[in-house]
Amino acid sequence: MTKKQFKRYCDIVYNESGIHLTEEKWQLLNARIGKRIRKLGVQPDKYLSIIEKDPDELNSFLDAVSTNHTYFFRESKTFKFLDTSCRNIWCAASSSGEEAYSLLMYSIELGFEPSILATDISDSCLEKARRAIYPKKSLSNIPNHMIRRYFQKGMAKWGDYVRVKQHISRMVKFRKFNLLKDSPPSKIFDIIFCRNVMIYFDVPTKETVIHKLSKVLKPDGYFIIGGAESLNGLNHSLKYIEPSVYKKC
């Protein structure tokens, strides 16, 4: 991949998803698109022309670039801001579903069943989330009694996997959503989790996303971001509560 090709790939990623890739991500990008290039049997320059003309392949390209690793009850200390008033929850960068299911399980343990919308830009992540099958190692942060309550153990070749019980997985609505381009849902949310995605955005994109999500957050509702993220220095109307936690005033 030439420097010119890398820049063009980065421009496409930015324009379509808001993700800002620097030269430090050269190897990552190269690895992520390598499978697609090998499957199609083309060179990087030819692949560029394909994703510029073919919406389906563009979607596959963005899917490969945006997929990220997560696990159950990641950074769960912010879950303390969930209470029985949080009837409508938006998990706005849900990846492969672990966060949304964690929020649901935590809420049920508190004694209520919220409506949870979980969105992501990645089709493959959404497919995995709906399938709700995960490796056992992703459960390391979950107490045994909750594992028994919410998961089914796999058998035979699925022995190293678990599945979220179907009556639980059906309670989460998974939808495709582009934080940069799509209009927010026509409902108001009591709390919004948008974690570990804005770290990939530049300042203008962060401000666009924050403004868009804030419009559908109720007054006094919490806006939760990732532990490695901050809204410092950004133009927004949210009130800082503690690291990763902001509130709409």
Dist. CA 18–CA 200, nearest whole Å: 8
Q: What are the CB-based long-range contacts (under 8 Å, 24+) for 34-39?
A: 35/64, 36/60, 36/61, 36/64
Question: In sequence order, what are the beta bridge partners of 176?
Answer: 120
Q: What is the largest CA-CA distance in the chain?
A: 56
Pick the catalytic residue from 63, 120, 190, 195: 120
Residue 71 to residue 212: CA distance in whole angstroms? 27
213/188 Cα distance (integer angstroms): 10
Instruction: Please confirm, yes or no, whether 32 is among the known catalytic residues.
Output: yes
Does 36 participate in catalysis according to the annotation?
no
* Catalytic pick among 32, 74, 87, 130: 32
**CA 183 to centroid of chain Cα atoms:** 17
Q: How crowded is the C-beta side of 231, counted as CA atoms within 13 Å?
A: 24
Angle at 98 between CA 220 and CA 127, to 5 degrees: 115
Catalytic residues: 32, 120
